[in-house]
Amino acid sequence: MVVINVSKDNFQKEVLEEKGVVLVDFYADWCGPCRITGPIIEELAEENKNIKFVKVNVDKNPDLAGLYSVFSIPTFIIFKNGQIVNQFMGALPKEKFLEELKKTK
């Protein structure tokens, strides 16, 4: 599955109305740790077809970042059926992402 870039215009449809698990990556282009986790998210999206992966650029969508109290990037929020079930931040290894995703089942 491809990682989808979302904005405030389509966040409702792509995340909140989605049935199942959605991992949202709040990031910025200039953020070093975000550049480290970007390829990990791409890899996870390819390997986990039952999970939707989306990215939100905080510079272009400050309202969304504020709404979800994103004060540090990268921040990852996992939604299940439109509800937040997990939130964590930082440049984590792939194994840690897998651990966090397992908590949603």
pLDDT, tens digit, for every residue of 62-92?
999 999 999 999 999 999 999 999 999 999 9
Positions in the chain short of pLDDT 50: none
Name the active-site residue from 21, 34, 78, 92. Answer: 34
Entry pTM: 0.95
User: Helix, strand, or coil here: 66?
Assistant: helix
Name the active-site residue from 31, 41, 44, 70. Answer: 31
Residue 104 has what pLDDT? 84
* Domain at 4-102, CATH from 3.30.70.270, 3.40.50.300, 3.40.190.10, 3.40.30.10: 3.40.30.10
Indicate the domain borders of the chain: 4-102
Residue 9 has what pLDDT? 96
34 is known as an active-site residue: yes
Integer Cα distance of 8 and 29 in angstroms: 18
Residues 24, 86 contacting (CB under 8 angstroms): no
Residue 33 has what pLDDT? 97
17 is known as an active-site residue: no
